[in-house]
Amino acid sequence: MDALNAFFSTPAIRAIWTDQAVIAAMVRFEAELAAAQRDCGVIPAEAAAAIIDTCSSFSLDADKLAADARVAGTMAIPLVKMLKAAVARRDEGAAAYVHYGSTSQDLADTAMVTLARQSLDLLRAELVRLGDALATQVEAHRRTPLLGRTLIQPAAPVTFGWKVAGWLDAAGRSSVALARAGGEACTLQFGGANGTLATHYGEGQRVARVLADRLGLRVPAISWQGGRDRLARLGSELAILCGALGKIGRDISLLMQAEVAEAFEPAGEGRGGSSAMPHKRNPVSSMYLMDAAYRAPALASILAGELASEHERGLGTWPNSLPVLADLFSLAASGIAAAVDIAEGMRVDAQAMQANIDRLYGVVYSEGISLRLSALLGPARAQRIVGQVCEQAISRRTPVAELLKQIPEVTAVLGAADIDTLAGPQPQIAACQPMCSAVLYQWQEQKNLIQED
């Protein structure tokens, strides 16, 4: 069902994790290993040349590789066997130096992290695009009043820009954390049969440094066959990113409800339709965001759950890392693309936002009014007055400000202008501004961190 599941991913990320791309990454490892060993004098230059030349045109059938891997327990064993045979046809003596001093997990893990590096580069660019789009919305709507909602009930107003700033804050932090975890995870795995590179006779670390440099990976202090924490951390950060972006989908889908109708995903021909109800306009980007948020944590838990592996190489605690990471990257790419779609194309109805505030007749300003009157009249009297006024405002459909102006106890300590200010959005709008500014400033710093390689 690869083709049918494609709409829960993106073409760019899928291209990185195709069967042929995985095979190509494995073949590249063998070619670069031969080159590094040649440069360090570990294998003859002639053998390295034969291996590198063979790898440049080597291809194999993915279905056959998969079938053979099912028997062998890893794709590395049949791939190396086929590559040795191909090299032998060119230079029989050189075949002995294919995969020299390496092991199956070196090949599998290093190929996997090279694909992860490509994926991280792709996500990094899209995350910057997302952050910039959200920052634009923060600036555009930092003074647009919006009903705050806590426990799904009306609260004091905020601004829509402030709400988006919350999305940007989480997305920015998750992006930086992902970049850091990704940088650590993109580390060469090269240890040989037991992890010590003993068959390199003292040249193992030098070969590792050259090989890592050729592949664009970090060099570990020690081989990590049994230490999978870098991958678990990467998987966890991918899942956290999916969850953080999922909140955008959750909020927008609720704001799009007809009875709220305050903000909308971009419209388009055939977008979000219904097979049964022609009037429907479903929040499809929100659906993709929430799909990723729901599925990614369970996948990340697989990598975290395998940390306590046995000895130098665990049983069943490493071959599945590739498909798990591929799925996590696919979900993250899907979520980022959906979030970019919303951030760049959302429609905001400021009039509807104000109307939803107005229909509550000012009761959402009760906290500020109560605090001010408590300071002037004492808490008990203030609570009694504000509680009664809020009940009357809803039952009589009369603004709180008008009712307060009819109470002598209140007018004795507050003028009409003060009452209008307390029972209006300006204090709330003003309170949102420092945080909006702080998040926008922070995003510029985060963007630099995300773009660092």
CB count, 10 Å around CB of 344? 15
Residue 150 φ then ψ, to 5°: -120, 135
CA angle 59–319–238, rounded 5-degree value: 100
The torsion of the CA quartet 195, 199, 203, 206, rounded to 10 degrees, works out to -40
Let me know if 313 is a catalytic residue.
Answer: yes
Q: One of 274, 347, 359, 396 is an active-site residue; which one?
A: 274
Q: Residue 147: phi, psi to the nearest 5?
A: -65, 125
**What distance in Å separates the CA atoms of residue 131 and residue 443, rounded to the nearest whole number?**
7
Pairwise CA distance, residues 125 & 298, whole Å: 26
Structural tokens at position 134: 């959200």
Q: Smallest Cα–Cα separation from 16: which of 92, 105, 120, 93? A: 120
- For the chain, how big is the Rg over CA atoms in Å? 30
56 assigned to active site: no
Question: Would you call 227 exposed, middle or buried from its count of C-beta atoms within 10 A (0-12, 13-18, 19+)?
Answer: middle
Catalytic residue among 180, 313, 381, 384: 313
Reference 295, options 324, 338, 317, 264; nearest CA is: 324
The closest of 67, 86, 65 to 76, measured between CA atoms, is 65
Closest by CA position to 266, among listed 201, 330, 334, 337: 337
Catalytic residues: 274, 313
